[in-house]
Amino acid sequence: MSDTALGQVQMSKPKSIKKSARPSAKRNPALAGAAPITVSGRWIASVFALVFLGAALCVWGTLCLMFWLGSWQLLYHPSATVRRTPASAGLAFDQVAFDAADTGVPQLQGWWIPASLPARYTAIYFHSADGNLGDAIDTLARLHSAGLNIFAIDYRGYGQSQFAHPSEARWLHDAEAALDYLTGTRHIAASSIVLIGSGLGANLALEIAAEQPQLAGVVLDQPLAAPADAIFNDPRARLVPAHLLVHDRWDATAPATALRIPSLWFAKESDPGTQVSSRVTSPKMVVWIGSNALPARDYQDALSRWLDNLPQDRK
């Protein structure tokens, strides 16, 4: 190609590339004039109130659960360690395991302490809410001196008996199991059995005696007027529905009114529990205790007199 031809060739300008226009966002006409979203202060307060109420209910529910689980310790004070046995007082005895569960394992432990001479009566002894049988050796020695066969038991949760939290229902079951053991296993007539209880054990003896009119009699050593007050008068009981959570009542008035067998009461005049004996219409003997403990000789003499006066024709 000649220079002339080359000169006539004109450089073509590059074509400009048009950028495609970005589509513009279209506003929703319906939202164009909408007011900004606001949260009502009343709604926020309601939410906070509900959250606070839920937290408070959780705390209160926890308090109820803790009270239900631990309130028994306000009344019952068991000990598992038995530090003394009747042998320490020179008494011969047999260790007895009874009231077998479905597994065949006995739930209860007791001591059979035979009288030195053939005895007319056999006593079932119920100790107080504190300690265990090892703390009642002196009392058992006094009963033995009165010429009684003695079957003394530890409730579940006490001594070597099966562990369980004590309660009125469990005590009643254990007492009935002891009675069944004497009548069913040792074949001792109910009419020759005397129930003897100390402290809360006296309340237990009273309840059982009111339901078993075939027994010879019952001895009540300073029963408690209102044992459950130890639970219901506790400051923590005011925070929960204690009367709904705890079923123990130990009301002595009803069984005292229903009692139909002879009874012997050891009581202090200043003790409100003595008022319960006034509800008894069946034959009774009351021995008043002064500010000091009743001497062992006086206790034994009163018990022996009462036993001698028991009707001999009961069946």
pLDDT digits (tens, 9 = 90+) for 30-79: 555 556 677 788 888 888 888 888 898 999 899 999 999 999 999 999 99
d(CA 278, CA 261): 15
For residue 305, pLDDT over 80 is answered with yes
Name the token pair of 137. Answer: 């050796």
More confident call, 252 vs 11: 252
d(CA 261, CA 214): 8
CA atoms within 13 A on the CB side of 22: 2
pLDDT digits (tens, 9 = 90+) for 214-248: 999 999 999 998 999 999 999 999 999 999 999 99
Place 313 in a pLDDT band, splitting at 50, 70 and 90.
low
| Alpha helix (H) residue ranges in the chain | 3-8, 29-32, 41-70, 137-145, 168-180, 200-211, 229-232, 242-245, 253-258, 296-308
What does pTM read for this prediction?
0.84
Can you give the length of the chain in residues? 315
Sign of CA pseudo-dihedral 296, 298, 304, 307: negative
CATH number 3.90.220.20 given to 79-233+248-308 = no
